[in-house]
Amino acid sequence: MKIQELHKQYGPIVRISPFEVHINDPQYHETVYSLTSPRNKSEWFLKYLNVPKSTFATVDHKLHRLRRSAISPYFSKQKVQGLEPLLRGKVKKLCGRVREFSGTGKPLMIEHAYTCFMTDIITEYTCPQCWNYLDIPDLFPEWHKTIKDVMEIGMITRHIPWAIVPLFFLPEWFVSRTFPKVMRTKKYRQKCDEVARAVFQGSKAKDDTLEGEPSTHPPLFNGLANARLPPEERTEERVNHEIVSLIGAGTETTANTLAVITFHVLDKPQILNRLRNELGNTGVIFEGLRLSYGLSHRSQRSSPEGPLYYKDIKIPPNTPVGMTSVMIHHDESIFPRSHDFIPERWTDLQERKILNKYLVAFGRGSRQCVGMK
């Protein structure tokens, strides 16, 4: 990692571009990602998502707080506990799909299974209708590719915003053959467009669901369309951006964490045996989160109301300051043998409290992942 090399050469604070600073000091993380002080995000960095009206990609601190207030009730501990029947049903279906591969000699791409699994959970809870990707016979490898493609294409458009735009106006058969990643991304956005339209058609119903569509819980996106927000925050485009953001982020990160845990549990029989004997032990989950990183890239914050101070260095207001979860999770002074999967490091409750401070897979501060519960 180039940033890591720069820190080894120049120390814990490095100016990595004309307008951005990167800090490698776990003790400073809670200052950058403050829970109490206003923090804006980097507009340049968020370009790759192309969903500026989503909560995740909102730059301004105050506007983010307004948008988050509309969705956070759906991710409260009480709400999540109420989803247990839904989760059990999806887990049962996932296990059934995995058993289908037993004795066939065919490889099971566990990431594909988990991607479909998480998509079905998220869409069941947030959309008027579940996408039912677990029902697709081959576990829909194209969908897993799509999630990866969205991120990869975004890295290009962050630097060259106009690079992909012309391709959206070319015939689909041509784009599909020559730029399949762009085509998959386009189809995903089109599907989210359809969901947004369905939300606004169904939001007129008294029970916040599509007419004739039974639901034991009002879908999140229907609630967002009817939330007590200013009119400009209840547009179809705004809901569309939230759909793209929540489904994309909630699917990829969690599916990746589950895949990392599965690999290490199966790779080390002693971990599997311990997990079976101590199902209440959450060390495996904590260690899986640590080694899957959440968002592995740097995520900048800026202080709009005053400068930040790192030791004797003054960082001017509105300067993007980033830190990287990968570097914190592999800090050997905090996590010895950091590249090894060691659930035992989380066993002692006092030690766990200390380590939790440096487990930043969900981010920290007022913009911490809304779905972490």
Q: What is the DSSP string of 179-217?
A: -HHHHHHHHHHHHHHHHHHHHHHHTTSTTSS-TT---SS
CA distance 256 to 270: 22
In a domain, 17, yes or no: no
In a domain, 282, yes or no: no
User: 302-337: b or e for each residue (b if 16 or more CB lie within 10 Å)?
Assistant: bbeeeebebeeeebeeebbbbbbbbbbbbeeebbee
Supply the pLDDT for residue 72.
92
Supply the pLDDT for residue 373.
66
Supply the pLDDT for residue 118.
97
Other C-beta atoms within 10 Å of 299: how many? Answer: 22
Q: In this structure, is the dihedral angle defined by the CA atoms of residues 57, 245, 79 and 194, taken in order, positive or negative?
A: positive
Q: Could you tell me where the DSSP H helices lie in the chain?
A: 2-10, 29-32, 43-46, 61-71, 77-81, 84-99, 110-126, 141-159, 172-178, 180-202, 220-225, 236-267, 269-277, 283-292, 325-329, 349-356
CA distance 347 to 282: 8
Tokens of 327: 């570097």
Q: Give the domain extent around 149.
A: 82-267
In a domain, 16, yes or no: no
N-term to C-term CA, the chain: 31
Other C-beta atoms within 10 Å of 201: how many? Answer: 13
Supply the pLDDT for residue 203.
55
Give the domain CATH number at 146. 1.10.630.10
In a domain, 92, yes or no: yes
361 close to 289: Cβ distance less than 8 angstroms: yes
CA distance 363 to 38: 15
302 close to 367: Cβ distance less than 8 angstroms: no
Residues with Cβ within 8 Å of 194's Cβ and at least 6 positions away in sequence, in order, are none
C-alpha R_g of the chain: 22
Number of domains in the chain: 1
In a domain, 74, yes or no: no
Annotated binding residue 130 = no
In which residue ranges of the chain is pLDDT below 50? 204-215
- pTM across the whole model: 0.88
SS3 at position 127:
coil
In a domain, 348, yes or no: no
Q: Are strands 13-17 and 20-23 parallel, antiparallel or unpaired?
A: antiparallel
Supply the pLDDT for residue 245.
94
Tokens of 359: 């487990």
Supply the pLDDT for residue 217.
56
In a domain, 199, yes or no: yes
In a domain, 25, yes or no: no
Supply the pLDDT for residue 1.
81
Q: In this structure, is the dihedral angle defined by the CA atoms of residues 321, 322, 328 and 332, taken in order, positive or negative?
A: negative
Supply the pLDDT for residue 332.
97
DSSP code, position 166: G
248 close to 150: Cβ distance less than 8 angstroms: yes
Q: How would you write 38-71 as a 3-class SS string?
A: CCECCHHHHHHHCCCCCCCCCCCHHHHHHHHHHH
